[in-house]
Amino acid sequence: MSTHIGAKRGDIASTVLMPGDPLRAKYIAETYLDDVVNYSSVRNMLGFTGTYKGKRISVQGSGMGIPSLAIYTTEMIQEFGVNTIYRVGSCGAMSPDVKIRDIILGQAGTTDSSIIANTFGPGIYYSPIADFELLDSAYHTAKDSGLTPKVGNIFAADRFYNDEIDMKKLTDYGVIATEMETSGLYLLAAKHHIRALTILTVSDHLLTGEKTTAKERETSFDEMIRLSLDTAIANIKE
């Protein structure tokens, strides 16, 4: 048992899907996994282990933002031997080429968080990126399923309400969507030499003002979830 995860060594699979919302973790586990066990409910940040198409997988809520995600990512890696993490969540589209409910694969993570500066110090502007093997696998799995995912740079905002960020400039430089976690996940994956990939569904659009409801975000992103699970079982390395 770690400080924030009420599990024993062996309770968590080596491959983990990590949504921010613990209720999305519950939905994924109850809807898609067999033989499900709830291994942690500490702080209501729910975690489950089960099987998908015969392969063992866990689903763990991470909370919102890089600081919260960093707690669960670090403990899963250091205390429970997790070697592959998929962030599955929602994002806001920033590019006119991205539509509501599109699936996005995070190729790289841009951020205004201090986590990178604090890690490397002044003068180094490290670029956290996805694991290419997972990215390539997810892209082709999606295409084989008739989906057309968008692949690109994701902006992980340190604050949800932030009027100071120049979103247009980020878009002009190729950033296609915004959320709050990807950069932190990719940085920690690089630090600990594990694999990570962000797979997102567009829940709202910064240009058009379109948005999904909170309930839809919790339960309706099934194409993204199935893609994440199918990619996960294709890349399990025990």
Cα separation, 142 vs 116, in Å, equals 31
The DSSP string of 117-147 is HHHH-TT-----B--HHHHHHHHHHHHHTT-
Which sequence positions are flagged as catalytic?
A: 20, 24, 43, 87, 90, 204, 217
Q: ∠ CA(76), CA(20), CA(33), 5° rounding?
A: 70
Cα separation, 114 vs 117, in Å, equals 5
Cα separation, 111 vs 128, in Å, equals 10
Q: Which residues pair with 136 in a beta bridge?
A: none
Q: CB within 8 A of 204, min separation 6: which ones?
A: 90, 92, 93, 100, 210, 211, 212
Cα separation, 2 vs 9, in Å, equals 9
Report the C-alpha dihedral over residues 160, 164, 166, 167, rounded to 10 degrees: 20
Nearest CA to 185 among 115, 101, 118? 115
Q: What token pair was written down for 188?
A: 């920690």
CA atoms within 13 A on the CB side of 106: 39
